[in-house]
Amino acid sequence: MKLHGYFRSSAAWRVRIALNLKGLGAEHAFRHLRKGEQRAPDYLCLNPQGLLPSLETDDGQVLTQSMAIVEWLDETHPEPALLPGDALQRARIRAFAQAIACDIHPVQNLKVLARLRAMGQPEEVVTGWARDTIQEGLEACEELLAGGEGPFCFGPTPTLADICLIPQLGNAKRFGADSAALARISEAARACAAHPAFIAAAPENQADAE
Amino acid sequence: MKLHGYFRSSAAWRVRIALNLKGLGAEHAFRHLRKGEQRAPDYLCLNPQGLLPSLETDDGQVLTQSMAIVEWLDETHPEPALLPGDALQRARIRAFAQAIACDIHPVQNLKVLARLRAMGQPEEVVTGWARDTIQEGLEACEELLAGGEGPFCFGPTPTLADICLIPQLGNAKRFGADSAALARISEAARACAAHPAFIAAAPENQADAE
């Protein structure tokens, strides 16, 4: 498999964690987001949205959208399960993941912030937009975990929820959102920080890290 | 089951379509988004994100996030399948759905537009933000369908992709994005417009429609 990503892309980061949790190796191709390499014609042939990541499978198919890729990995390589449990538990894991992937990350991503800058918004307003989006979003996420068992978001093993949480916490740090008071999220973050799959997937450990 | 929604909420609309496709009845509770009823304390107990929809199941569980709810409906009521086919086909359906649910809708939803207005952006800039987001996003979505068979997004039956597409086309119309030139999307839209499950789920056919 070949993953087209960028060290700092939250969505590519999710897929790196999933590949590592499954013990799957992949070739890594890098597309520099800040240089716009995801809009190059040769990449748009793979991914018409011009977004990262894309995963080329061993039989030449191209998969897009990080969450769809992680679900595909989980269906084609079931162990360890990234969506364990019964339908209700899976719904809770997916809901947490989507609270990040649909409600936080898209509103604070590079593209949206660039549009705000292009409107003439000063840098502190742009950063504040990202920070407030993340802060409010993570506080709601903490409540989605209330009463559950750790150390990971949904119990003893990492799931799609942790896969989404950790890159989002990376963005929280960049933009000054503070998750220290969020007990369940902090517990999951500590568990992931000690897990080899998460360590190997971290931006600073990628070949294109700056 | 009891669905907490709002006639014009894209995310609630998705769940209404899915319930109808599965032939499942549900009680409908309405939360007026423009009046902020989704932030009322009694609703935040159900859904700490303060977002629509929420689905109360028959055994008293509360499910949130429209895509997670649709996946849950599909797991607990497998026929007709909303994610038919093999893992690859399912990945393509999910990627299309997420291209809408993660990349278009969150950037043009009511909350983001309200923030732009609160920044002092004039109405034409706010509307333009929504329109351009939808236009660009739907054009990429069309390419995700290229070469596939209709009449629905992914073949002869409606899937999660159509469930996301139709509410997004509702927003396209509201904000002046034009999808007429997008052949596969237009074909799917026509097929859905003639399907009873989609007709019954349309905003204008809800009890709280204005």
CATH number, domain with residue B179:
1.20.1050.10
Query: Are both A156 and A96 inside the same structural domain?
Result: yes
Which uninterrupted H or E stretch holds B5? strand B2-5
Q: What is the pLDDT of residue A84?
A: 98
* B118 pLDDT more than 90: yes
Cβ of B144 within 8 Å of Cβ of A48? The answer is yes
State whether A96 and A37 are in the same domain: no
User: Is A206 a domain residue?
Assistant: no
- Give tens-digit pLDDT for A51-94: 899 999 999 999 999 999 999 999 999 999 999 999 999 999 99
pLDDT, average across residues B126-133: 97
Residue A122: other Cβ atoms inside 10 A: 10
Based on the fold, state whether residues A74 and A93 are members of the same structural domain: no
Which strand ranges, in their side-by-side order, compose the sheet holding A54-56?
Answer: A27-30, A2-5, A54-56, A62-64
Q: What pLDDT band is residue A45 in, cutting at 50, 70 and 90?
A: confident
Q: Mean of the per-residue pLDDT values for chain B?
A: 95
In a shared domain, residues B60 and B92: no
- The residue from B38, B58, B80 where one domain ends is B80
- For residue B197, the Cα-to-chain-centroid distance in whole angstroms is 14
Contact A49 B140 (CB under 8 A): yes
Structural contact between residues B66 and B14, judged by C-beta atoms closer than 8 angstroms: yes
Mutate which: A57, A58, A64, vs B, most B CBs within 10 A? A64
Residue A207 lies in a domain: no
Confidence grade of residue B135 (pLDDT, cut at 50, 70, 90): very high
What residue numbers bound the domain in which A103 lies? 87-198
The answer to whether A87 contacts B101, with C-beta atoms less than 8 Å apart, is no
Tokens of A51: 């977004």
Shortest Cα distance from A94 to chain B (angstroms)?
5
Cα B157 from Cα B160, distance rounded (Å):
10
Looking at chain A, which runs of residues are DSSP E strands?
A: 2-5, 27-30, 54-56, 62-64
Chain B residue with the nearest C-alpha to that of A122: B119
Residue B210 lies in a domain: no
- Report the residue from B94, B105, B140 with minimal CB separation from A67: B94
Count how many pairs of residues, chain A against chain B, have C-beta atoms within 8 Å. Answer: 115
* A50 pLDDT above the threshold of 90: no
The last residue of one of the domains, among B52, B80, B108, is: B80
Q: Same domain for B162 and B104?
A: yes
Are residues A102 and B67, on separate chains, in Cβ contact within 8 Å?
yes
- Statement to judge: residues B45 and B103 lie in one domain: no
| Rounded distance between C-alpha atoms, residue B63 and residue B173, angstroms | 29
Over residues B60-114, the pLDDT tens digits come to 999 999 999 999 999 999 999 999 999 999 999 999 999 999 999 999 999 999 9
Chain A residues closer than 8 Å to B90 by CB: 71-72, 75
A191 and A95 both lie in a single domain: yes
Q: Is the pLDDT of residue B39 over 90?
A: no
ipTM for the predicted complex? 0.96
